[in-house]
Amino acid sequence: MRIGELLAYFVEPVMQHHQFQRIHNIQISRSERNGERLSDIQFKELSDFQETTARIEGRRKYFKTADHTKTLHGFAPQLVETVLSMDNSVKSVLNVGCSYAYMDYLMAQRHTGVQFYGIDSAANLLEQNSDISAPNLEIISGYGLDMLETRRIIPDLCYFSSTAVVIRNEELKAYFRSLAKTTKYLVLAEPIYSSRGLFYEEGYYDNPDEIDANGSYPTFSQVDFATEKRGYLAYLHNYRAIAELYGFEVLHYRIFIPSFTTQHVVALIAKNKNSNLWSG
Ligand SMILES: C[S@@+](CC[C@H](N)C(=O)[O-])C[C@H]1O[C@@H](n2cnc3c(N)ncnc32)[C@H](O)[C@@H]1O
């Protein structure tokens, strides 16, 4: 029995890794520009997943009753609001992968001089968010990378909350490259999923600092508990190195376990080195 457990401890993560790598390779081959963009089919699949797994009522109740000083959802806004308090030239904030944009709604009420945008793929995103509205909050159903590359939205600050983690390396670099042209600040609050899956020892985590900016790898695949649909493939990224690659200076970077979870989380605030963005 002990030998079996021991074998599983070592063999299972390797098998999982191979499986995730296979899914990753399939995703790359189906995407556009060598993995930089979701193809139309991939976007539709993401959109369908977001729509069918939304459980709108449950999410609304959770967001309205949770103590967001103790949730990961509440963590990204703390970082965003730190920047807003430091730099009053930040007049627009984009949340890529907003899903239910309740936290943006709360921030919009607190910062009435700032325009908030939430974007996500679900075709029914507006319906999902129909119970929240503010004059300075716009919810957009669409592909975030398109909005940035076509400059439909030019945010002063762009943030990802549990979203960058499910974006492939090539695509994440396309996001950061696009943001580097127009956006003053980049903010991330992302969980770190272990490649050891369920078999990891307490306290173990894959350290993103040890990998190359181009070396992200898939570590975990989420399966929706109700529909059993395979959801996103989560990646280990060296966010700091990727942000620096595209001309952001990292002002704040922390990997830690928040008091409300057992999982490692990475927090990052980075400022664009292009000072021209502040003039005019
Ligand atoms: C784990 S959910 C997090 C949602 C929300 N930010 C939160 O914290 O509740 C991941 C989000 O990333 C979005 N997403 C997945 N792949 C994406 C991509 N390639 N580009 C933009 N958003 C993506 C999904 O639609 C989903 O809303």
Segment 12-25 mean pLDDT: 86
* DSSP reduced 3-state for 101: coil
Average pLDDT along the chain: 92
Residue 150 has pLDDT above 80, yes or no: yes
Position 5 confidence tier, pLDDT thresholds 50, 70, 90: confident
| Amino acid present at 11 | V
125 lines ligand 1 (CB under 6 A): no
Kindly report the length of the chain: 280
pLDDT tens digits along 152-163: 999 999 999 999
Q: How confident is the model at residue 200 (pLDDT cuts 50, 70, 90)?
A: low
* Pocket mutation for ligand 1, best pick of 36, 51, 99, 107 (most atoms within 8 Å of C-beta): 99
Q: What digits encode the pLDDT tens for the residues 244-264?
A: 999 999 999 999 999 998 889
Structure tokens at 239: 């966010």
Q: Is the pLDDT of residue 53 over 90?
A: no
Q: How far apart are CA 103 and CA 108, in angstroms?
A: 9
Whole-number pLDDT of residue 202: 66
Q: Would the CB of 236 count as within 6 Å of ligand 1?
A: no
Q: Check whether 59 has a pLDDT greater than 60.
A: yes
Q: Is the CB of 49 under 6 A from ligand 1?
A: no
Complete domains list, the chain, with CATH: 2-278 (3.40.50.150)
Cα–Cα–Cα angle for 133, 136, 137, rounded to 5 degrees: 50
- pLDDT of 174 > 80? The answer is yes
Residue 77 exposed, middle or buried by CB count within 10 Å (0-12, 13-18, 19+):
buried
Q: What is the pLDDT of residue 179?
A: 98
CB 103 within 8 A of CB 76: yes
Residue 141's pLDDT is what?
98
Distance (angstroms) between ligand 1 centre and the Cα of 263 equals 19
Place 101 in a pLDDT band, splitting at 50, 70 and 90: very high
From atom 20 of ligand 1, which residue's Cα is the shortest distance away? 144
Please identify, by atom number, the ligand 1 atom nearest to the C-alpha of residue 161: 6
- Would you state the pLDDT for residue 14? 81
Listed range (22-31, 93-102, 198-207, 222-231) with the worst mean pLDDT: 198-207
Predicted confidence (pLDDT) at residue 105 exceeds the cutoff of 90: yes
What is the CA(177)–ligand 1 centre distance, in A? 19
What is the Cα Rg of the chain in Å?
A: 19
With a 6 Å cutoff on the Cβ, whether 121 touches ligand 1 is yes
Which phi and psi angles does 233 have, rounded to 5°? -95, 125
CA–centroid distance, 280 to ligand 1, in Å, is 33
163 lines ligand 1 (CB under 6 A): yes
- Residue-level pLDDT at 229: 74
The model carries a pTM of: 0.94
The predicted structure's pLDDT at residue 280: 65
Does residue 178's CB lie within 6 angstroms of at least one atom of ligand 1?
no
Inform me whether the pLDDT recorded for 240 exceeds 90.
yes
Q: Residue 196 pLDDT > 90, yes or no? A: no
Q: How far is the CA of 120 from the centre of ligand 1 (A)?
A: 7
Q: How far is the CA of 199 from the centre of ligand 1 (A)?
A: 26
Q: Kindly state if the Cβ of 167 falls inside 6 Å of ligand 1.
A: yes
Q: Is 96 in the pocket of ligand 1 (CB under 6 A)?
A: yes
112 with 136: CB under 8 angstroms?
yes
CA of 134 to the centre of ligand 1 (A): 22
CB 253 within 8 A of CB 240: yes
